Amino acid sequence: MIARIVSPRVFRGLLPAFSLTVILIAIFYLQPRAMSYFGLNLLLNLALPIAFATLAQMCVITVNDLDLGIGAYVGFVACVSATWLNDQPAIGLLILAGCIVAYGALGALIHLRNLPSIVVTLGMSFFWLGLALLVLPTPGGKAPDWVRAIMTFKTPGVPMTIYAASAVALLVHFGLKRSAYGVVLRGVGGNPRSVERAGWSVLRAKVTMYALAGFFGVMSGISLIGLTTAADANIALRYTLLSIAGVILGGGEFVGGRISPIGAVLGAMTLTLAGSFLSFMRISPDWQIGAQGGILIVVLALRAIINRTEARQSR
Amino acid sequence: MIADRLNTLFAKPWIWAFLGAGLVWLATIAFTRGQGAGEILSAALSFATFSAIIGIGQMYVITLGPGNIDLSIPATMTFAGAVSMKIIDTQDSMVVPGLVIALTCGAAGFFNYGLIRVLRIPPIIATLSSSFLVQSSAIAYGRGLKIKPPPILADFTTAKILGVPLLALCVIGLAAVMSVVLHRTVYGKSVIAIGQNPRAAQLTGINVEFTRFATYVLSAVLAGLCGYVLSGFSGGASLNMGADYLLASIAVVVIGGTSVAGGFANLPGIWGAALFMFLLVTMLNTFGLTAGVRLILTGVIIVCVITLAGGRKT
């Protein structure tokens, strides 16, 4: 019984929650005042857009691809949200729907021509950045009031971010990990040929996952603009690397369709908190991305140790 | 006879990159009515040099097979540039030690390979994590200052012989040497063999792990070299100098006709693709487009080129 509870599998599953807890405890220890509604709200303020971007990246990673254009894409969505969505909501929504279709089409293109996703999405990052500059040549714009109202809504107990992030994580968890079609979608990352042989369309699965990525990207951009109130074409460029780090931190693996939506959201929160942790430690912001890299390496090292223990046990 | 020659020429995977570069150049000078045709070519050679240096390293890494890629190149470049310029401190006498230090920054390659091997993680994640650390070190070390290069290095990197940049000639030489290394040495052939079938390569007695290790170090050393000469060329090391080179390093390899699936590499294509990338930006600038349109067109053209190149059997 005890052996089952402390099995490497369970450890691996708990690793994302564990890293988040460690960093939260460290922050509360350094700054006890952070342990309040207001403190948590400030700490996790920007976690929601990062969590959405991480989920978008996770969708692409599920089918063994990588999206290096998600940051620029979220930036473009933010620019559209701060201009069209505010001035002419109908046109704004149309543009955003078009974005999701474009992402699906990108998935189809990558699959049909068997292209390296890294290069295609890196090229697309220029495309989105250019579009964003056309929409909003200089920083500015205004967030629609309803977006602002949702993002600053005061929920009882804990801040809105925590409710929203939990809800989204559970929703995606059930969609991808517990539904029948979710298994097919992940199967495309595991063994596309057998999925194809079993009569499922790999093309359809890839388009679905890319379109989902596009959808989460839209959510990320809109939630970001609700927090910052104004937009800038470069506002989310760093999300590209953050989202990849978040997925990996959350227990996602790069091949084989092994992903964890709940872990990804936890990973995104851990990375968001890493920045605050550094400032509480009075470490210069120069080391911010370095610390994120460090956390990534430590977590990956822990996972490697767990995997090795597992391999030894099964022998 | 001539048709046969042409056919063999067009069968070379690298020819398309040069054709593309030529077409873009013609379009540009058609727009300017022939004005500045030579200057554009000369500038293209100068700027393409830097993408070509890191492209060579990236090509070796990509040739190792699916999943192998080095995302830490921009960070290593920045770090090598910042450290070497700060230590040289604009003294001409320190140029050679500075170069050695920049090349030593290729130690980042040890770290990359160590992560891949010890943590058993995919190279993308390993090089990404280490690039976070290296970039941070560069930021903390350089403190946002632009450190000027020593005059002798600045002169060397901007020198021209009959309008042809000296540095470009050196790097064409480097590409030729690396081409020989790839196709004529045990190491180079091992890289190609591993890319085609790692298991078969292992069984024939090739030391797969050592070859991978050497390749990641090679890529990092070339990134260090690029950071060093780029600092000399652009009047100093700055903290965002590597930013544009992530796309460049991967794009020149793929557009140049090297197989992304690994196992097939070609070096001439890297120069063709590097020239194409620079001439493309020059053309869009010459047409007087705004930054937004320029970026959109760059993105669209890259995706189109990849789509066309990806469908071709190499």
Asked if residue B180 has pLDDT above 90, the reply is yes
Report the residue of A232, A271, A288, A300 to disrupt the B interface, i.e. the one with the largest count of B CBs within 10 Å: A300
- Answer whether B56's CB lies under 8 Å from B271's CB: no
3-class secondary-structure state, position B259 = coil
Task: Match 């969590």 to its residue by tokens.
Answer: A51
Averaged pLDDT, A127-144: 92
Q: Chain A residue closest to B131 (CA)?
A: A293
Cα dihedral value A272, A273, A275, A278, nearest 10: -170
Cα of A163 to nearest chain B Cα, Å? 30
Q: Chain A residue closest to B130 (CA)?
A: A293
Cα angle A42-A44-A48, degrees, rounded to a multiple of 5? 130
Averaged pLDDT, A148-168: 88
Nearest CA-CA partner of A232 in A128, A79, A129, A92 = A79
3-class secondary-structure state, position B165 = strand
Query: Any chain B CB within 8 A of the CB of A302?
Result: no
- Averaged pLDDT of chain B: 87
Averaged pLDDT, B17-40: 86
pLDDT in tens, A18-35: 889 998 998 889 888 888
Alpha-carbon radius of gyration of chain A: 20
The strand ranges marked E within chain A are none
- ipTM tops the 0.90 cut: no
Nearest CA-CA partner of B109 in B145, B87, B80 = B80
Q: With 0-12 CB in 10 A as exposed, 13-18 as middle and 19+ as buried, what is A198? A: exposed
Averaged pLDDT, B24-40: 86
Taking CB atoms and an 8 Å cutoff, what residues of chain B touch A290?
Answer: 132-133, 135-137, 140
Asked if residue B314 has pLDDT above 60, the reply is no
For chain A, what are the domain ranges?
9-314
Gap between the Cα atoms of A50 and A236, Å rounded: 9
Query: Any chain B CB within 8 A of the CB of A287?
Result: yes
pTM for the model stands at 0.87
- Answer whether B237's CB lies under 8 Å from B227's CB: yes
Cα dihedral value B161, B167, B168, B174, nearest 10: 130
What's the pLDDT band for B272 if we cut at 50, 70, 90?
very high
Averaged pLDDT, A277-293: 80
Pick the range with the lowest mean pLDDT from A262-271, B2-11, B64-73: B2-11
pLDDT in tens, B227-246: 999 998 988 888 888 888 88
Taking CB atoms and an 8 Å cutoff, what residues of chain B touch A137?
Answer: 290, 292
Query: Any chain B CB within 8 A of the CB of A97?
Result: no
Pick A228 or A315 by higher pLDDT: A228
Report the residue of A109, A118, A135, A255 to disrupt the B interface, i.e. the one with the largest count of B CBs within 10 Å: A118
pLDDT in tens, B286-301: 888 888 998 999 899 8
Which residue type, as a one-letter code, is found at position B255?
I
Smallest Cβ–Cβ distance between B130 and the set A120, A293, A303 belongs to: A293
Asked if residue A260 has pLDDT above 50, the reply is yes
Asked if residue A310 has pLDDT above 70, the reply is yes
Helix-strand-coil split of chain A, %, nearest 5: 80, 0, 20
Q: Do A130 and B136 touch (CB under 8 A)?
A: no
Angle between helices B208-233 and B37-63 (to 10 degrees): 160
Task: Match 């090089």 to its residue by tokens.
Answer: B127
Q: Do A244 and B128 touch (CB under 8 A)?
A: yes
Asked if residue B313 has pLDDT above 50, the reply is no
- Answer whether A295's CB lies under 8 Å from A249's CB: yes
Gap between the Cα atoms of A241 and A258, Å rounded: 19
pLDDT of residue B139: 85
Architecture of domain A9-314: Orthogonal Bundle (1.10)
3-class secondary-structure state, position B164 = strand
3-class secondary-structure state, position A315 = coil
pLDDT in tens, B132-160: 889 888 888 877 667 788 888 888 888 88
Gap between the Cα atoms of A49 and B44, Å rounded: 40
Report the residue of A122, A124, A308 to disrupt the B interface, i.e. the one with the largest count of B CBs within 10 Å: A122
Gap between the Cα atoms of B75 and B83, Å rounded: 12
Percentage of chain A lying above the pLDDT 70 cut: 98
What's the pLDDT band for B312 if we cut at 50, 70, 90?
very low
pLDDT in tens, B67-76: 888 989 999 9
Pick the range with the lowest mean pLDDT from A147-151, A299-303, B280-284, B310-314: B310-314
What's the pLDDT band for A5 if we cut at 50, 70, 90?
low
Pick A291 or B224 by higher pLDDT: B224
Cα of A32 to nearest chain B Cα, Å? 28
- Distant-in-sequence, close-in-space partners of B65: CB < 8 Å, separation ≥ 6: B194, B195, B196, B198, B261, B262, B263
Cα of A229 to nearest chain B Cα, Å? 23
- Answer whether A78's CB lies under 8 Å from A221's CB: yes
Averaged pLDDT, A207-213: 95
- Answer whether B231's CB lies under 8 Å from B85's CB: yes
What's the pLDDT band for B1 if we cut at 50, 70, 90?
low
Q: With 0-12 CB in 10 A as exposed, 13-18 as middle and 19+ as buried, what is A48? A: buried
- Distant-in-sequence, close-in-space partners of B220: CB < 8 Å, separation ≥ 6: B57, B70, B72, B73, B76, B105, B106, B107, B108, B109, B110, B112
Phi-psi region for residue A7, left (φ > 0), alpha (ψ -120 to 50) or beta?
beta
| Rounded alpha-carbon distances, angstroms, from residue B313 to A108, A123, A154, B182 | 20, 22, 58, 21
Query: How far is C-alpha B144 from the chain's CA centre?
Result: 25
